[in-house]
Amino acid sequence: MSHKNNQTIRCTVNQCRYHEQTENYCSLDGITVGTHETNPTEDKCTDCLSFERGK
């Protein structure tokens, strides 16, 4: 699978299969962000729902 470097989504989660490994970018055209909290108050309350475990 060829990864393209989408320079509009920065990401440091290099354990994700969609992470562009040489730089801190996501290779997807778009992602979905959500929350696991009922009342999110900080950045750590949010999650990338497009995350998939790397190979």
From candidates 29, 36, 39, 50, binder to ligand SF4 by CB under 6 A: 50
From candidates 4, 5, 7, 13, binder to ligand SF4 by CB under 6 A: 13
Following CA atoms 28, 33, 36, 40 in sequence, which dihedral angle do they give, to the nearest 10 degrees?
Answer: 150
Q: Which residue has the tokens 């989660």?
A: 13
Tokens of 45: 């309350």
In 3D space, the residue among 3, 7, 29 whose CA is nearest the CA of residue 17 turns out to be: 3
Q: Which is nearer to ligand SF4, 24 or 37 (CB)?
A: 24
Q: Is residue 31 at the binding interface for ligand SF4, with CB under 6 A as the rule?
A: yes
Q: Which is nearer to ligand SF4, 13 or 45 (CB)?
A: 13
